[in-house]
């Protein structure tokens, strides 16, 4: 197993173990991982900072994978199929780090922000689909390769 994979597994485990917390962010996950990787805080400050930045990148990707799924891959809310268990907050959209909050703890502003975000993504996909269809309609069928 590669070192990168080991780091990703640490991050995934931390996220999974804290699944019930109200709010989770990449910065918080990276800090928890750093406590595990360097419990005595003996790494030089520059090494610590670089590692923390990389762990935040891994955490961002893992949180996106779990809580901003493509299609229907990811964790859904138990009571409302189709809804995710967590969504980004409106205030985190303006911040450097996203913050993912349990559905039950979203404010009306957060819900409105996510509805608008999802509708914007849907419009972009429809535009893409329309453009691809127009392209396909305007060309002749390529010959099959032998």
Query: Each residue of 2-37: pLDDT tens digit?
Result: 998 999 999 999 999 988 899 999 999 999 999 999
pLDDT at 76: 55
Contact by Cβ (8 Å): 43, 22: no
CB-CB neighbours of 115 under 10 Å: 11
pLDDT at 72: 47
Tokens for 54?
A: 């990389």
Instruction: State the total domains in the chain.
Output: 1
Establish if 78 belongs to a structural domain. Answer: yes
Establish if 79 belongs to a structural domain. Answer: yes
Establish if 144 belongs to a structural domain. Answer: no
Residues of the chain under the 50 pLDDT cut = 72
pLDDT at 94: 66
- What is each CA distance from 113 to 53, 106, 117, 131, in whole angstroms? 27, 10, 6, 27
For residue 79, give its domain range: 3-137
Which residues contact residue 97 at a Cβ distance below 8 angstroms, ignoring those fewer than 6 apart? 25, 26, 27, 56, 60
> How far is it, in rounded angstroms, from Cα 51 to Cα 63?
18
pLDDT at 84: 87
Establish if 71 belongs to a structural domain. Answer: yes
Establish if 30 belongs to a structural domain. Answer: yes
pLDDT at 29: 95
Establish if 85 belongs to a structural domain. Answer: yes
């Amino acid at each position: 197993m590669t070192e990168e994979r080991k780091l990703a597994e640490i991050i995934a485990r931390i996220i999974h173990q804290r699944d019930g917390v109200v709010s989770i962010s990449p910065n918080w996950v990276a800090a928890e991982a750093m406590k595990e990787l360097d419990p005595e805080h003996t790494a030089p400050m520059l090494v610590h900072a670089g590692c923390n930045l990389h762990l935040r990148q891994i955490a961002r990707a893992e949180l996106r994978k779990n809580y901003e799924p493509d299609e229907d891959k990811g964790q859904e809310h138990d009571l409302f199929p189709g809804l995710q268990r967590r969504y980004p907050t409106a205030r985190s959209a303006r911040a450097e780090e996203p913050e993912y909050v349990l559905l039950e703890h979203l404010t009306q502003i957060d819900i409105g922000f996510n509805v608008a975000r999802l509708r914007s993504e849907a419009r972009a996909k429809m535009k893409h689909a329309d453009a691809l269809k127009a392209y396909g309609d305007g060309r002749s069928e390529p010959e099959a390769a032998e």
